[in-house]
Amino acid sequence: MEAFQTVRKQIISLLCDEELTPLDISQLVHIPEKDVADHLVHINRSLGSQGKKLQIEPYSCMSCGYKFKKRDRLDRPGRYPQCKSGHIRLASYRIL
């Protein structure tokens, strides 16, 4: 990454190249994982004017396989309410 790029521009550049999880993004851009969701919200809003879209593979429960497809928030859910499992597979993001 080039030093003069903002964090969001770095994230956009990474997501244009490959599909990444919030953990991957936080490690590559050197920010806390909890901050990634806030940046992705802003990036998602700005992509429409560029004719691009943020593709989201949603979080899923590793115990029962439920996918959090209708979840509006981009941060990690704590657990799935039906089976009470806290084993959640990370979402992944890519810009198309």
- The third-level CATH classification (topology) of the domain covering 7-95 is Arc Repressor Mutant, subunit A (1.10.10)
* pLDDT of 3 over the 70 cut: no
Please report the DSSP string for the chain in residue order. --TTS-HHHHHHHHHHHS-B-HHHHHHHHTS-HHHHHHHHHHHHHHHGGGT--EEEE--EETTT--B-TT----SPPS--TTT----EEPPEEEE-
Can you give the residue ranges of every domain in the chain?
7-95
Residue-wise pLDDT for 84-93, tens only, equals 888 889 999 9
Lowest average pLDDT, out of 7-16, 27-36, 77-86, goes to 77-86
